[in-house]
Amino acid sequence: MKNIIVTGCAKGLGLETSKMLAAAGYKVIGISRTYTDEYNQLKSDYPQSVFFYQFDFAEVKEISLLVKKITKEHGRIYGLINNAAIGHDGVLATMHESDITSLLAINIEAPILLTKYVSRSMLLNRKGRIINVGSIIGSTGYNGLSVYGATKSALGGFTKSLARELGKSQITVNTLAPGYMETNMTDGLKGDKLEKIKRRSCLGRLANVSDAASMALFLLSEDASGITGATFTVDAGSTA
Ligand SMILES: NC(=O)c1ccc[n+]([C@@H]2O[C@H](COP(=O)([O-])OP(=O)(O)OC[C@H]3O[C@@H](n4cnc5c(N)ncnc54)[C@H](OP(=O)(O)O)[C@@H]3O)[C@@H](O)[C@H]2O)c1
């Protein structure tokens, strides 16, 4: 059974990805801040293959210990999905410095450190899959999301160079860039703004978590072994 780490596993896209992974026969090692009823249900449905580690990625200094614990308990890791992120919005000029610091720590520093430690397993195995969850905002921009957007395009840059570094060991690294999906993160986006996004997309709707999770599953599969250093946009055609 292939071990896959999913960060931010308990809600939204991470939860949907965890469900699909469990149904497809992977072992899901979920890491998130809050343990939700939905993830608990998934764990009960797959007691042998779904696990949960409660962790706050703001604690960047503890990440190496977390990875040590996970690899001791589960063995080497095949796949890593860097999905956990926060979406604080705000006009830069008035944004609290502490919000900026958290965005940088949780959305960039934590996935980089987690990947650093998890990639050691992959290098020993000479195979592996890393998926960094970016966002279309990393390339399109959006009013009030400058710092969030900076973190998401940083992840895209991380993907590209890391793909070059790890490719020799048959480890692929890709970015999954969703468009707007209705999750906790986009709770604030309602009414007119939401309708406008739907209207402007090719398909006349928003992307949803299962559209994006399906792409993550494909990137983990054998069929995707020749794909690395790329960005996969899943946005119902919003940016077409
Ligand atoms: N929703 C969208 O429209 C959209 C669009 C493009 C890209 N994305 C990206 O898709 C990914 C998933 O987003 P989502 O929409 O599914 O958001 P979500 O529903 O808010 O889920 C995010 C998950 O990450 C966890 N998380 C956040 N901060 C954490 C921390 N410090 N430590 C541990 N876990 C933490 C959350 O747990 P807690 O809630 O307990 O903190 C939650 O389980 C993110 O990378 C996001 O940037 C989302």
Task: Taking residues 185-197, report their average pLDDT.
Answer: 86
Q: What local confidence, expressed as pLDDT, does residue 226 receive?
A: 98
Distance CA 86, CA 107 (A): 7
Higher pLDDT, 190 or 235: 235
Q: Please check whether residue 48 lies inside any domain of the structure.
A: yes
Q: What local confidence, expressed as pLDDT, does residue 11 receive?
A: 98
Q: Please check whether residue 216 lies inside any domain of the structure.
A: yes
Q: Please check whether residue 114 lies inside any domain of the structure.
A: yes
Question: Could you list the residue range(s) of the whole structural domain that residue 106 is in?
Answer: 3-234
Mean pLDDT (the chain) is 97
Residue nearest to atom 19 of ligand 1 (CA): 12
pLDDT in tens, 136-155: 999 999 999 999 999 999 99
Q: Please check whether residue 240 lies inside any domain of the structure.
A: no
Rounded to two decimals, the pTM is: 0.98
Beta strands in the chain, from DSSP E residues, in sequence order: 3-7, 27-32, 50-54, 79-82, 128-133, 171-178, 231-234
**Distance from Cα 15 to the centre of ligand 1, integer Å:** 10
Q: What local confidence, expressed as pLDDT, does residue 192 receive?
A: 86
Q: Tally the domains of the chain.
A: 1
Residue nearest to atom 44 of ligand 1 (CA): 85
Closest to 64 in 3D by CA, of 2, 133, 114, 139:
114
Q: Please check whether residue 239 lies inside any domain of the structure.
A: no
116: domain CATH number is 3.40.50.720
Q: What local confidence, expressed as pLDDT, does residue 193 receive?
A: 85
> What is the pLDDT confidence band of residue 231, given thresholds at 50, 70 and 90?
very high
| Choice among 39, 46, 148, 180 that is catalytic | 148
Q: What local confidence, expressed as pLDDT, does residue 189 receive?
A: 79
Q: Please check whether residue 58 lies inside any domain of the structure.
A: yes
148 is annotated as an active-site residue = yes
Q: Percent of the chain beyond pLDDT 70?
A: 100
Residues with CB under 6 A from ligand 1: 8, 10-14, 32-34, 55-58, 83-87, 106, 133, 135, 178, 180-181, 183-186
